[in-house]
Each structure stands twice: as C-alpha cells, then as structure tokens.
C-alpha cells in the first residue's frame, strides 16, 4: 500500500493502454480494497477477539481504548467510511462536534493545540472548516484503528507502506 487517498497512477495508464489495444481491462486499487475489507464490523469483531486474547500487560494504549469502546467502533466504522468517501455528508457536524467517534490515543495530539477557547482545532480550521475538521477527526479515528491492527494483528501493518519490504525484496513474482 502507498497512500489510500492517492491511487498509484500506473494502473490507470496500464488500463487505458490495454483498452486502446482492444483488451477488456478493469482497474482495481487492491490497497483500498484491502482496507475496506478490514474496516467492517465483522473484521473489527475478529480484531477484538485477537486483542482480547493478548495478555493484558502486552496491550498498547490503542488496543485498550479499542476494547473499552468497541461497540462504538463497530457502530461508527461504516458511516465514517461513507463520510470520507463522500457518500454521506450529513455526518460532518456529528463528527466535527467530537461526540460521534470514539477517541483513542491519536486524538491526544489535539490537546497540544488546546487554548482557552475550548476549541483545540479552531486555529487550524476556524469557523468555516467543518468539512475539513470532520475529515481530520475521521482520519485520526482510522489511524487509531490502524494502530490496533498493528499492535494486535500484524506488527507491519500501516495504512501507508504496509509490508513495503515484502514487495520490494521480491526478485521475481512467479507462483
């Protein structure tokens, strides 16, 4: 995986090239497909079981927050993805109001910017940046989940550059 919000451009070029030559070709972003499969209530339930099986002393702050607020993660993951994909703008104010999403360790970074106004993000988004504010908070939420996936499932997991060394170290891709 590279960046989820910026698909790798060569697949579009290759798809266009093949179609120009008369081949039936489809473009698929496998990184996005993987993440969308991971970020479902069913998959989060499996992650919860793996996290619960960990010795308590080995659980990170991310894993503990996930377990403490699991029902909210399970209920909010699909609506949050729909919001980020532009399929449900109605969640903007609920997410931006900071009462909709469970807030794990990634949200602690907001405290560094808290002034006495009570709006830790006011300096960055002002009164007009509700959409951007909500996207930022939703991204922190997804990063909290990514931290849980890394800590409880696969230590190589990241939304950016997941398993990069696996792909770059292959001398050939024969079956």
Q: What is the pTM of this model?
A: 0.78
Which 3 state secondary structure label does DSSP give 67? helix
Q: How far is CA 99 from CA 15, 91, 95, 108, 142, in A?
A: 43, 11, 7, 15, 16
Lowest mean pLDDT among 72-86, 132-146, 153-167: 153-167
Read off the pLDDT of each residue in 44-66 and give the average, rounded to a whole number: 98
Query: Which pLDDT does position 113 carry in this prediction?
Result: 60
Structural domain spans, the chain: 39-168
Q: Could you report the per-residue pLDDT of 8-44, keeping only the tens digit for each?
A: 778 888 999 999 999 999 888 887 888 899 999 999 9
Query: Which pLDDT does position 1 carry in this prediction?
Result: 45
Residue 164 clears pLDDT 90, i.e. is over it:
no
HSE of 68, CA atoms in CB hemisphere, 13 A: 12
């Amino acid at each position: 995986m590279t960046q989820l919000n910026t698909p790798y451009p060569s697949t579009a070029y290759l798809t266009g090239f093949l179609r120009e030559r008369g081949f039936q070709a489809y473009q698929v972003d496998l990184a996005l497909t993987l993440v969308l499969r991971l970020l479902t209530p069913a998959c989060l339930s499996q992650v919860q079981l793996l996290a619960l099986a960990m010795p308590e002393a080995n659980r990170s702050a991310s894993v503990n927050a996930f377990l403490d607020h699991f029902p909210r993660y399970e209920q909010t993951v699909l609506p949050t993805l729909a919001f980020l994909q532009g399929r449900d703008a109605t969640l903007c104010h609920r997410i931006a109001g900071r009462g909709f999403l469970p807030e794990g360790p990634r949200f602690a970074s907001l405290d560094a910017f808290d002034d006495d106004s009570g709006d830790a993000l006011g300096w960055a988004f002002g009164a007009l940046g509700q959409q951007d504010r909500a996207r930022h908070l939703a991204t922190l939420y997804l990063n909290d989940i990514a931290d849980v996936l890394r800590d409880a499932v696969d230590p190589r997991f990241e939304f950016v550059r997941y398993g990069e060394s696996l792909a770059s170290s292959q001398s050939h891709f024969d079956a």
